[in-house]
Amino acid sequence: MRKMALACSAALVALGTVTVTPARAEVTLYGILDTYLGYTNAGGKGAQTAMQSGGLSASRVGIRGSEDLGGGLRATFDLENGILTNSGAATDSTLAFSRSAWVGLGTPYGEFRFGRQNSVLLLMHSKFDAFSGGTYGSFLHNASTFSFRYDNMITYWSPNIAGFTFSAGASLGGQTSPHDALNAYVGSIDYQRGPLYLGVSHAEQNGANGKNITKTTFAGGSYQFGSLTGYFGYYRGNNLGSNISTNVQGKYHSVYSLSTTYNVTPALRLAAGVGYAQDSSGQDNNAGEVSVGAFYSFSKRTLVYGTFERLVNRHGATYALIANGPITPNTPTRGEGVTGAQLGILHSF
């Protein structure tokens, strides 16, 4: 990362000279560049080999910063745009900062942020998955459906209190009739103590008529046993807008994930996982996935990775291997499975 330290000087104001304690400001340029070769063979559609961006982590470039305002206060901001490293294009050409654009105020009692921000479900589901919520191997990512981020969001992030942290937020739809149309509400709570890490998050979205149309919940945990770490993830969402092709309004689908990592050496990490998606609509649109992967770090900033996975759909389910980038997956025909493999490189700065 490149950091630029900026200092404020003393100022002359009104009828006299007032000495102002110099405030420390810091601006950081950062980014993640992730490119991979992906192979998928989807039932009913055939095989596909392609270079893509965002296998393990979505590629992005951003600027974040803070300023010490004194008295325990600090100003914060983050501007982040998604990019496609395989083509050089922006992930969303209609937005200057597609991933994040917010300004905040930090206090000794927590931080308030205002603007376009990531969903708490997006932030949490990557914590309780051996594949970090990315690659073809993350069934939590492949089978869960939720809003990745929200515009016009107000959030509060608590300090750590005896191992607990929590957040809450609301995205304002800006409508008049009804006034709560398109509003969204999110919240999360984490607990971390020693090798144990637990968390739960929830999000709800109103429709144009002000009535709630989507509800999503994620819960997970991890525990480290020396070089071995075990993960559990659970997702529940209503079928409206889910990956199930025959949605039944008012019904839900649940996703269960068990995965583990083992550090063979400080540089080499192996991963394996199984997942299952259960449809409660009576359509039996279930799915399952088995995945393995390896991650080798050349340094703290550069790693290579490879994965292999098999996803099986039942009846009307059309789950696909979608990795962590804005790509069009090789979606199988209804009830057919997908076999996939990836080989990628990631560099962060």
Note the pLDDT of residue 59.
97
Is residue 123 within 8 Å of residue 71, measured between CB atoms? Answer: no
Cα torsion through 142, 147, 149, 150, rounded to 10: 170
Is residue 55 within 8 Å of residue 36, measured between CB atoms? Answer: yes
Note the pLDDT of residue 327.
59
Note the pLDDT of residue 10.
36
Residue length, the chain? 349
Note the pLDDT of residue 97.
97
| CA angle 95–96–100, rounded 5-degree value | 85
**Within its chain, how far is the Cα of 259 from the centroid?**
18
Note the pLDDT of residue 12.
31
Closest-CA residue to 231 (of 305, 127, 307): 127
Note the pLDDT of residue 310.
97
Query: Residue 307 and residue 38: Cα distance in Å, rounded?
Result: 9
Query: Residue 140 and residue 271: Cα distance in Å, rounded?
Result: 14
Query: Residue 145 and residue 134: Cα distance in Å, rounded?
Result: 14
Note the pLDDT of residue 290.
98
Q: Domain boundaries in the chain?
A: 2-348
The DSSP symbol for 22 reads P
Note the pLDDT of residue 244.
46
Cα-based distances in Å from 195 to 200, 225, 226 = 17, 7, 9
Measure the N-to-C terminal CA separation of the chain; round to a whole number of Å: 5
Note the pLDDT of residue 240.
56
Q: Which residues of the chain have pLDDT under 70?
A: 1-23, 239-250, 325-329
Is residue 130 within 8 Å of residue 290, measured between CB atoms? Answer: no
User: Which residue pairs from 288-294 have beta carbons closer than 8 angstroms and sit at least 24 positions apart in sequence?
Assistant: 288/139, 288/312, 289/137, 289/139, 289/142, 289/143, 289/319, 291/131, 291/135, 291/136, 291/137, 291/138, 291/139, 291/259, 292/137, 293/130, 293/131, 293/135, 293/137, 294/268, 294/269, 294/270
Note the pLDDT of residue 128.
96
How is domain 2-348 classified at the CATH fold level? Porin (2.40.160)
Q: 193: part of which helix (H) or strand (E)?
A: strand 184-193
Note the pLDDT of residue 13.
35
Note the pLDDT of residue 14.
39
Bridge partner residues of 312 (DSSP): 288
Which amino acid makes up residue 277?
A: A
Note the pLDDT of residue 9.
39
